[in-house]
Structures are given as structure tokens and as C-alpha cells.
Structure 1
Amino acid sequence: MRVPDQRVIATDGSGDGFRRGTAPPHRTDDRSRAETFCPDSLIVVSNRQPYRHEYDSGGGSTDSSGDGSGTTPASGSSGERSAASGSAESVALFEEAVEEFTVDEPTGGLTAGLDPVMRRASGTWVAWGDGDADRAVTDDRGCVAVPPGEEAYTLRRVWLSDEDVDSYYYGFSNRVLWPLCHGFTDLVEIRPNDFERYYDVNRQFADAVADHATADSVVWLQDYHLGFASALIRDRVPGATIAQFWHVPWPTPETFAHFPRGRDLLEGLLGNDLLGFHTKRYADAFLRSVDRFVPDAAVDWNRGVVRYDGRETAVNFEPMGVDAAAFDRRARETDGEWEEFREAHDVPRGCVIGLGVDRLDYTKGIPERLAAVERFFERNPGWREEFTFVQKATPSRTEIPTYERYGELVRSEVARINARFATDGWRPIVYTEDVLPQSQLGALYRRADVMIVSPLLDGMNLVAQEYVASSVDGDGALLLSDRAGAHETLGSHAYSIDPPSTDQVAAALERALSTPLAERRRRMNVLRQRVFADDLDAWMETQFRWLRRCHESSADGNRGAGDRSSDGVPADEPR
């Protein structure tokens, strides 16, 4: 095992250029592959909106969603276009408020990835308008042109009451569907009226889509908040091509059996022409659920197609990536951010750094991770005062008591472990819930010698890919849960862990820290190649190819995306 003073990581941000074997691919034009294949008349539907307007209280708006969104002052040009497209009343409201609000813009994930695509497509994005100044800038249909200063596409906002938000979002979405899909059946909480509100909000989204869609439209819905919307849209716009990507795991039929409205949800999702998942395991679990709970449906296992109610739904899978080039660039541009963090949180200079970055969610396995760090120090006293584990946590869904209790558990475990091992100038765990700017997060990713990603179950887990993309020095190490979707593509060269096995995770941490530098570089080089090859743009290109195929098939009167290979990929399309 490498002794503590044999640090090999040199991540002070002073490196210039790419190390051998770690350079990402470069594109020579300004149009991404996804933009090239984006279907015409695209309507994106999601719970989260790409731009949020907030009244400016003096210091800009604060994003509580945990996605790191920044704020940009509203511009006069956006006001002119937005006002011109609205009613006289909305024009007056906008002109009165234009100097008083900020705009949260997308800075990561699918929302940021889709934004430039929508700009070129001049499409429509339907989403929940949750900003406190959102109504001030929209017309009487709830529409505003975005992005500010460019006004390239339409954002149609759906307005939800406080009761809607409580029952639809904090109720059925995150007290029933979220724990069910992640296998936490004991945490499923079925409250009166939550299902009815969830269905009603899905109806509101469907109505909004119907205002903009035609038979030539391609409607692409995102995630578990909209489980019934596709079927409702189908009723309103029969000729449209409708697809949905389910970003969380799909449970096994045995787990799904705990859901009292399971058949209703399955029938809702079968309103899609195309239904996507991150992994084959989740796609197969959905097909098995349909086969068991919708007896009138016929499952074609070879094609990955369900025939139900006179039409076909193709079920595909493709792991989602991140904007790897952006994370790489941000990491290379770091200049002093790590030192600022280190000094602010009293991290001793020269310590080997472990890192965890998560929402405070019971699926993320944070207490299990902390237990493994504790076991590591028990077994390796020589690493005390030489290794510091940094846990960045983001409070999430605190209106739900289960989440509040989880946060309290994590904080108490950090305090207990620190009380056990800390010395005058060192804490084994540095814990923060501070909102970090993207530049500082990039510095943390780059500086971390080892990253521990330990979800108990996760649809994909993009943090693992963000870390790899940010490891520009090429010698970090990734400990990755075998229960994360990302494990299917990264598991062979990460250090695979089983989060509930404390001894196994502690042993993997020991192994990662003692691995020779050349082997660490070899592993990270392969991981980086995979993350850059299968980035967000590649994922969107695949989705848009499938959407185009569905749209062409429907235009020919043949619903479904046609014959597929056994893994759900169109037989004549590249992976």
C-alpha cells in the first residue's frame, strides 16, 4: 500500500496542455451532432424549465434545485420580444418588472444540453413555471421567448397551485414514484388526493402541449413526473409522434407490484411511440412489468416492442452522458479555487483528498460511504492526518420528512466520526452544504485523488462522469457503485464497490490509494475515452435518430420505430 507521504497527484492547476492519452476529441464546427439530427417541430416537455425568472432582491436569485444554475440580469431585448408576443396586460407587467428580476440559466445536465438544440430548432419547451417572477414576463398564454437577448424558441409555462406542488411534486412524484423506482418500498407514502393531483397536473401539461402541437410535431417528454402525459397528449393530438425518456430506474415486477395504480401508469406510458431508459436492465424490467400487469398487451421481446390498444411502443435504452468537454475546460481553467476552498474549510495543505458530491437523498448511500471511510481509518491509522474526505451535500426535498431525517443522519454521522478521529489541525471528514460555483466544483473534481460514488440504486449517476471529465491530470481514481447505471459503461476501469459492504468499500479505497501511478493513469485514460465518446451530445444524437425514425414510421402509417436488434437499438442504426 502506498504510504501517505508518497503523493503522486499534482493538481495545483498549473499544468498546461493535455497529458499523453487524456486529450478529448475536438469538433471543428459549431453545430453538434445532436443539432444535426434534431427533428423538426420539436416540443420538449419537462418538470424543470430551462430559464427561471426571479425578482431581484439585491443579490440575484438563488437556485435551490441543486443544479448549479447561475443568474443573469434580464436584458431589454428579451423584454421587447416577450412583450411583443403577449397581451397588453403582460406587456405592462413586463415593462414594470424588467429591471427588477434575474434569470436563472441552465449550466449543466440535459437542460443545458437541450438549450442550444432548441435554439436552432426554434421549438417549444413546456415546463412548470416555478420562478416567482415567471408570470410577469409571459403573455396571456403563459409563453415567453428565450433565451434572454436571443429569443430563439418559446418557453410555455404551466402554472401550478401550492396544492398542486405539494401533491404532484412533493407527494406522488417523490413520495411514491421515486422510492418505488429505487426499490425503497418501505418509504412509499400514499396520501389522499396525491394521485388525483398528479394525474391532473399531467393533464395540464397535456393541454399546454396540445396548444402548440400538430400532427407533424415530435413531442419528447422527460422523466417520472409525467407518467400519464403521453397518453393524454395522444388523446388530444392523435397524429403527433410522442416519446419519453425515463431517467430513473424501472423497478422489478416484484417491486412494482407494491404500487396500487401500477396498471394505470403502464397504460399511460404505453401512449408513447418510443420509451427510453438508461440501461438494458431497466428497459427489460419495464417489459416484464407490462407482460405481468397489462395482460392485453403483447410484448415482442426480440424487437423490444409492446403492442397495445392497436398501436406499438418501442422500448429502447441508451446511457446518458455529460458535456464532457465543458467539464474538462472548466477544470483546466481553475486558478486558485481549490486553495480558496481548502483555506475556507481548514483542509491541511498536502493532504490526499477523497470526494463525494451528492444531493441529500436516501438513494445516494452517503451514510454507507461515511461508514467505509471510518473503517478505512480504523484499518489504516497511518493515513490519519494525511487523508481528508470532502463531502459536498445539497439539501433536497426538505419538505418531505424522510429527506429531513436523512440529512440529520448524515450530519450526525459526520460529527461522530470527526469526534472519534480528529486532531488539533485535522478532521477526517470536511462536510459542506454550501452552494459552490461551477468553477470551484471543477477545482474540487480536479484536485480529488479519489472520488466515491456509492448510490444504493441510481438510474445513471452523472457525477461519476463529471469527475472523470474533470480529471484532466489523468491520475484520479473512481470508486463506483455496481448499482449505478454508469457502472455498465465505467465499471471495468473504476474500482467497483457494493455500498452496503463497509469492509469491501474500505478495501477498495485502500486499493485505489495504493495503486501505482502508471496503473491509475491507465484506468483513468480508458474512463476518459469512454466519457468523451459517450457524452451528452452523442446521447441526444441517438435519441433524435430514434425520434426521426418513429416520426417517419408514423407518417407512413406504421406506429413504432421498426425492427430492432435484441438490445433495443434500431437494426440499421449505429450505437
Structure 2
Amino acid sequence: MTGDESPAEGATGGESADGRPTGGDGDGSAPTEGLLVVSNREPYSHSYDGDEIVVDRPVGGLTAGLDPVMQRASGTWIAWGDGDADREVVDDEDRIRVPPEDPSYTLKRIWLDDDEIEEYYYGYSNQVLWPLCHSDRGRVTYEPRFWHRYREVNERFAEAASREARPGSLVWFQDYHFGLAPKMVRDRLGDDVTLAHFWHIPWPTWDDFRVCPQSEQLMDGLLANDLLGFHVGRFCAQFLEGVEACFDDAVVDWDSGVVHRGDSPTLVKPFPMGVDAERIERLAGSEQADEFWDSFREERGIADDAVVAVGVDRLDYTKGIPERIRAIEYFLDEHPEYRGEFVYVQKASESRSEIPAYQEIQREVSAVAERVNERFGTDDWKPVVSVTEMLPAEALYGLYRHADLALVSSVRDGMNLVAEEYVAAQLDNEGALVLSDFAGVDETLGDYAYTINPYATEAFAETIRRTITDSATERRNRMRQMRQLVTAYDLDAWMDDIFETVAELRSESADVG
């Protein structure tokens, strides 16, 4: 999940969910003052509903999780103001106090024009950094104007953060949109502030990342942080290997994960992100969730005794959706006894449709799903059921709860919170998670999930069959173990872990001073 993906697009690798946000600071370890968050996506936006201005509130994922932390910290959140009424409600400094019913922190909006959005966001962020970090060199589209605009926008966010910061502030950058901003802030403010950065997508090998014409500038920018976090240890190791290859003057302490270069060391550490498990459990068990499932099954002609699989994704080439549907096709071909009895529900939302690579994956997913339905479907049954409309939180988690298995087949993923959301929603411990070992979450749940290689179509199909034929006891034992993990390291714990690490770094710095 990213600041850009929070899972409306997803972060969650998954679906946004409306409702009362919870999260952050579970044990009081979050900073109580001086917290600045810098993200591409804003926590609140304003739009027109006719002549009236309405507020779009935080949704699931990081945005919702950080909102209550910011309310307690009375800090400042700096983000792109993309609501069509955002300019109407800010003051002369482009600030507004939020949340509207009980203002407790400041939202500072940065305005981006169409060229900036095209070149910084759709261009450099999502046609250079996104494919490179997902080890997909073939999809990189580099143009010099993309880089120039990325640098300019990072400069604007860094300038805003520097103006808002005070001595002792923690400035927390979110994701790949701001690879240069930490050094820009450091150059302005020196050691008066603590800088942290969480990179929500994978970090690739040096052989992949050095394809980027600005690889050295980006890594130099990130090393200005006091703390740099990734989802899993593998990404940390690949970043550190890149540092050693890129900079002759860098010394990496592999035991501690600290990079020594210049005056300020950088701690590189894994923080596997969690979900708001308590909220998901509550909504999955709600009356509205059951009502949605009953009506959905009836409307889509899904029999009461059908085996239902679910996939929830943005239409992104990293999610392995065509590979997943091809495995289902092979499964139905090899096991005809499941025709008419197996239904795959694909909840997909379009993403970054301005980019040709995303247009291509949307066409491919549509074509392969149509082919499978034409091959096997009947008047009364379709093996692939597509859902494109936005689902309320209760509906989404009700779908998770009642699905017999979830298919998470990412070909490359920083974490993939859909897997954790599905597990959290399995109140009866009866479902099964089929999980790609290329997703970061495999390091957390892989011992108990049904692990697959999304490219190994035959083995993938056989794993689907295995989840159906395994004993109920086996499935329950696996799910029970995963639910314990997801509950223990939830979104609160993730943020607490980061803030505790920042506090330790500050303490060590004070001792040295």
C-alpha cells in the first residue's frame, strides 16, 4: 500500500472502505507534538455536491490509520490538494484545520497543475519508479521532462515541510513520490529535525535500480533520512547492497542495518505493515455484511453450495490477475467436476488509466475472463464474476468473510494488504488463502497460507484444488494461525513500532550530543 495507494487504490493493493477510522499510537509511543506527514494523497478532500461543499473523509489503510494519530499529535499533514473544492476552504497559506467537526491538526495543501500531475505523478513516479521497483524494466518509459518535474515537485513539498517544521519535529515522508525531498529538507534544516521515510513498494536489486538514470540522486536523497523503512527484510538488504555499489564513501553496518555516509547515519529497517484487524472483524460480522452477501449471491446466480473464490485488486500489472484467471481456466479444464460449482469473484478497480501499460492490462484481464466464461459458462453459471462498482466497507468485508478462498497472485508486491484483510474477516476460520510468494506479506503469512508461484499455472491450479479438498481441520488450523499473526501485528502495532524506533534514534542522538 502506498500514500498513493492507500488502499483506495490500496495500498491496500485493495479496496477502500468507508467508516470510522482507528489506528496509530496504541501504546502512546507516537510523538505528541511536532509530527509532520508528507504524502501524495490527502487525508480529507473537499468536493462539490451541487452547490454544496462536502468533505470526503479518510478511507481504509494508512490514511485512515494516521488520521487519529495526527489528531492526537496536533501536527501538520502536507499533501496534494486534488478535490475540486479544496481551494475554496483553505486560508491564505493553503491550510485548513481538520477534521471538520473537531479541528485538531492542520492540513497543508500543495497545488499541482495538469502538467505536474502528468509528469511528476503519471510520468516519473508511475512510469519510471513504479515499474523499476517492481523489477519490470520493460515497462519503464523515461522522458527527461518527467525527471525535471519530479524534482520540481519534490522541491515544493520540501519547501512546505521546511516552513512547517520546528526544531525537534519529526517529518515522516510516505512512499516513492518523494525520493528527493528528504535531502532537500536536510539541506534546509540540518539536524534540527528528525527525518523518517516509509517506502511502501518493493526495493529492487541494484542491477534493476541502476537502470534509472537518476539512481544515485534518489539514493542520496533517501540517505538523508534518519530512518528508512521497508515492508520486509529482503527489500532492506537490496537497498543496502545498492548503497555499497553506488557510493564509494558509504559504510554499511550489516548487523545493525545502519548506513554511515556523511555526518548523519541512516537506519534501514523492515516494518511489515498491518491492517485494522479489529475494525475489519467488526464490519465483517455486521448485519449489513450478511445482507450484502445474501443479495449479491442471489443477483449473481451463485448457488448456496458453490465454492467461491475472491480476488480484490487494482487493475495493475503487478497483481498477477491474468495469471490467476489462467490458473482457474486450467483448473476447470483438468477438473471438470467443478464446472458449475466453482465461482471466482473478481473485484477490480481501474487505476492510472492514462498510462498505456494500465490500459493494456485492463484489456488483457477483460479478454481472459471473457474467454474463460465462453469456454465453460452456461445459461445458469459463469465461472468468473466481475465486480467493478465501489463496495461499502461492510460489503467488501462480507465478501471476504463468506468466500471459501482468496487468491492473491501478485507477481511483485511490497506487502499486499488484501491478504491480511481477508484473514481478518475470516471470523469462522473456514477460508483458505492462496498466496504468491512474490508478495511481501508471504514473509508474514507464508508458513500457513497455500503458497504459489503465479507463473506456474499447473501448480497454481492444483493448489486451488487442494484448498477445496483439504480437511476442514487443516483449513481451520492454518487460518487460526494467520489470524493470530494479523491481529497481533495490526496497523496500530506497525505505527507504534516506527514511532518507538524514532524515539530510540532521538535518544541515541541526544546521548551522543
Q: Which bin holds the TM-score, normalised by the shorter protein?
A: over 0.9
1:38 alignment partner in structure 2: 30
Distance 1:33 1:168 in 2: 32
Match status 1:313 vs 2:266: yes
8 A Cα contact 1:218 1:551, kept in partner: no
CA RMSD of aligned residues (A): 1.3
Are 2:328 and 1:373 aligned?
Answer: yes
Offset of residue 310 of structure 1: 2.0
Partner of 2:224: 271
Equivalent position of 1:17 in the other structure? none
TM-superposed CA distance for 1:539, in Å, is 0.6
Q: Residue 375 of structure 2 corresponds to which residue in structure 1?
A: 420
Deviations 1:99-141 (A, max 9, x none): 7122111121111111111111111111111111111110111
How many angstroms apart in 2 are the aligned matches of 1:319 and 1:252? 19
Pair 1:384-2:336 in alignment:
no
Correspondence for 2:154 = 202
Distance 2:425 2:104 in 1: 31
1:329 aligns with 2:282: yes
Instruction: Normalising by structure 2, report the TM-score.
Output: 0.93
The count of aligned residue pairs is: 488
In the TM superposition, residue 550 of structure 1 has moved relative to its aligned partner by 2.1
Q: Cα distance, 1:210 vs. partner?
A: 1.2
CA distance in 2 between partners of 1:343 and 1:408 (Å): 28
Q: How does 1:356-371 map to 2 (within 5 A)?
A: 356-371=311-326
Alpha-carbon distance in structure 2 between the residues aligned to 1:349 and 1:427: 15
Residue 405 of structure 1: how far off its partner (Å): 1.0
CA drift at 1:473: 1.2
Counterpart of 2:363 in structure 1 is: 408
8 Å CA contact retained: 1:52, 1:129: yes
Shift in Å, 1:148: 1.3
| 8 A Cα contact 1:279 1:485, kept in partner | yes
Q: For residues 446 and 353 of structure 2, what CA distance do their matches in structure 1 show?
A: 32
Q: Which amino acid aligns with 2:378?
A: T
Residue in structure 2 matched with residue 54 of structure 1 by the alignment: 47
1:112 maps to 2:64? yes
Structure 2: distance between partners of 1:154 and 1:493: 43
Which AA in structure 2 matches 1:162?
D
- Which among 281, 291, 304 is matched to residue 234 of structure 2? 281
Q: Say if 1:205 and 1:35 are closer, same or farther in 2 by CA, change over 3 A.
A: farther
Letter in 2 for 1:449: D
What letter matches 1:45 in structure 2? Answer: V
1:352, distance to aligned residue in structure 2 (A) = 1.2
Partners of 1:35 and 1:117 within 8 A in 2? no
Is the contact between residue 35 and residue 120 of structure 1 (CA under 8 Å) also seen in structure 2? no
Other-structure match for 2:174: 222
After superposition, what is the alpha-carbon deviation per residue over 1:153-202, rounded to whole angstroms, capped at 9, x for unaligned? 00011111111100010000000000000010000000231001001101
Counterpart in 1 of 2:127? Answer: 175
Tell me the TM-score normalised to structure 1 length.
0.83
- Cα separation, partners in 2 of 1:35 and 1:167, compared to 1, 3 Å: farther
Unaligned 5+ segments in structure 1 are 1-29, 58-98, 559-575
Q: 1:145-544, aligned counterparts within 5 Å?
A: 145-238=97-190, 239-333=192-286, 334-544=289-499
Asked if structure 1 preserves the Cα contact closer than 8 Å seen for 2:318 and 2:411, the reply is yes
Q: Is the 8 A contact 1:375 1:503 kept in 2?
A: yes
In structure 2, what residue type is equivalent to 1:49?
E
Aligned amino acid, residue 136 of structure 1: E
Aligned-pair CA distance for 1:31: 9.0
Distance in structure 1 (CA, Å) of the matches to 2:319 and 2:215: 25
Alpha-carbon shift at residue 432 of structure 1 (Å):
1.8
* Code of the aligned partner of 1:203: E
CA 1:107–1:226 in structure 2 vs 1: closer, same or farther (change >3 Å)? same
State the AA in 1 paired with 2:264.
R
Q: Give the whole-Å Cα distance in 1 for the aligned partners of 2:38 and 2:167.
A: 17
**CA offset digits 1:381-427 (Å, max 9, x no partner):** 11111110101101000010110111011001100110000011000
CA distance in 2, matches of 1:207, 1:441: 40
The residue identity in structure 2 corresponding to 1:258 is V
> Aligned partners of 2:94 and 2:188: how far apart in 1?
19
Report deviation, 1:35: 5.9
Structure 1 runs of 4+ with >3 Å offset? 30-35, 553-558
Partner Cα distance (2:47, 2:506) in 1: 37
* Structure 2: unaligned runs, 5 residues or longer: 1-21
Give the drift of 1:236.
Answer: 1.7
What amino acid is the match of 1:165? Answer: I
- Say whether the 8 Å CA contact 1:348–1:425 is kept in structure 2: no
CA distance in 1, matches of 2:169, 2:265: 18
Q: Please give the alpha-carbon distance, in whole angstroms, between the structure 2 residues aligned to 1:443 and 1:318.
A: 28
In 2: Cα distance, 1:34 partner to 1:256 partner: 36
Larger Rg: 1 or 2?
1
User: What CA distance in whole angstroms lies between the structure 2 residues aligned with 1:289 and 1:401?
Assistant: 30
**Matched AA of 1:280:** G
Task: Percent identity, please.
Answer: 49
| Partner amino acid, structure 1, of 2:81 | G
In structure 1, how many angstroms separate the alpha carbons of the residues matched to 2:505 and 2:371? 55
